[in-house]
């Protein structure tokens, strides 16, 4: 196995995931920051994303938070999948807003990781609180590099 530093692994995992993530691409999500256990993503809210009340559909902010959550919890190198998520919406998101999700993995074990994501608009107002749990599979994104958890690897 070739050694790789955690930051480089985090960046490579996110590039690989984003390259395969047609939904995040369709939404216009941009990954603006990656660090081990963290990810920041932003997007512009389009007019075609509104609900019947003229505000952004809740699924838009949720999808941005969910993508940041996935990038933050997978970038250690271990394939991790959501087992539960919740989202609260303290303020409306409107067409034309630029929203940013900051995901931070709070705790992790061999099998589970817990993450919070805060979504803010361009004015800094919190428009979403997201919390999620992932299950860590035995599969590494890049088996040749291993993972930063120090767990045994299983090739894809």
At 86-103, the pLDDT tens digits run 999 999 999 999 999 999
Residues whose CB falls within 8 Å of the CB of residue 88, separated by 6 or more in sequence, listed in order: 128, 129
Q: What pLDDT does 45 receive?
A: 98
Q: Tell me the C-alpha distance between 1 and 152, whole Å.
A: 12
Average pLDDT value for the chain: 93
Q: Which domains does the chain have, with CATH numbers?
A: 6-140 (3.10.129.10)
Residue with tokens 């390259």: 19
User: Is residue 124 left, alpha or beta, with left meaning phi > 0 and alpha meaning psi from -120 to 50?
Assistant: left
Q: What is the model's pLDDT at position 111?
A: 94
How much is the pLDDT for 144? 87
pLDDT of residue 156: 45
Cα pseudo-dihedral 129, 38, 76, 27, rounded to 10: 70
Residues of the chain where predicted confidence (pLDDT) is lower than 70: 1-2, 146-156
For the chain, how many residues are written? 156
Q: How far is CA 84 from CA 8, 111, 121, 135, in A?
A: 28, 14, 25, 9
């Amino acid at each position: 196995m070739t050694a790789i530093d955690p930051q480089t692994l985090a960046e490579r995992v996110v590039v690989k995931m984003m390259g395969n993530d047609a939904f995040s691409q369709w939404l216009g999500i941009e990954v603006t920051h990656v660090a081990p256990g963290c990810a920041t993503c932003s997007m512009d809210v389009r007019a075609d994303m509104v609900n019947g009340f003229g505000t952004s559909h809740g699924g838009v902010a949720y999808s941005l938070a969910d993508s940041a959550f996935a990038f933050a919890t997978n970038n250690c190198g271990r394939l991790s999948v959501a087992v539960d998520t919740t989202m609260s919406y303290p303020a409306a998101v409107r067409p034309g807003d630029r929203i940013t999700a900051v995901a931070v993995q709070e705790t992790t074990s061999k099998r589970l990781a817990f993450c919070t994501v805060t979504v803010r608009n361009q004015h800094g107002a919190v428009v979403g609180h997201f919390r999620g749990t992932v299950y860590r599979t035995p599969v590494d994104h890049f088996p040749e590099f291993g993972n930063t958890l120090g767990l045994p690897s299983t090739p894809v």
